[in-house]
Structure 1
Amino acid sequence: MVQKFGVDPAAVRPEIPLYELRMDSLALEEFRILIEEQLNIDLEDATLTSRNTVGELVELVHTRTLG
């Protein structure tokens, strides 16, 4: 996320909404695809917006990798 999206690593904290990391809908879709490809999981049906927090995104990915 840091290299691809230019986000300061110190800014990536669980309570931070994704929009504060400049993740608009287009960036979020690109990020979702990267996560799917890197972790071999399906997030297509996940409801995720820029208002979700980093922690919520991590929890979603964690849940999908366990299933």
Structure 2
Amino acid sequence: MDIAEQVRTLLTTKFGVDPLSVSPEVPLRKLGVDSLALEELRLLIEDGLQVDLEDVELTPRDSYGQLLAAVHVAAA
């Protein structure tokens, strides 16, 4: 499973996001991810993918694509 699939799975299983609504241009807030949920998601991504997102600055206004880009950079 690649990074995008893992993050999408976290969004759908842990946060109840409809998988069909997840696309790169969609802001996280439109997926129902507020600032508290974003912090929880960050921790889940760090644990699941063994990456460090401590210095990544994202807000619910950022898109799913921006989140994925940050995770890819951290994983590299």
Q: TM-score scaled by structure 2? A: 0.84
Instruction: Kindly state the Cα deviation for residue 45 of structure 1 after the two structures are TM-superposed.
Output: 1.2
% same residue:
53
Q: Which runs of 5+ in 1 are unaligned?
A: none
**2:52 equivalent among 33, 42, 52:** 42
For residue 33 of structure 1, report the CA deviation from its aligned partner.
0.1
Aligned residue for 1:2? 12
Instruction: Measure, in 1, the Cα distance between the counterparts of 2:54 and 2:48.
Output: 14
**Aligned residues: CA RMSD:** 0.5
Query: After TM superposition, which residue ranges in structure 1, 4 or more long, deviate above 2 angstroms?
Result: none
Code of the residue aligned with 2:42 in structure 1: it is R
Q: 1:61 aligns with which of 46, 57, 71?
A: 71
CA distance in 2, matches of 1:33, 1:26: 11
Consecutive unaligned residues in structure 2, runs of 5 or more: 1-10
Deviation for aligned residue 1:3? 1.4
The number of residues matched between the two structures is 66
TM-score by length of 1: 0.95
* Aligned with 1:18 (options 14, 25, 28): 28
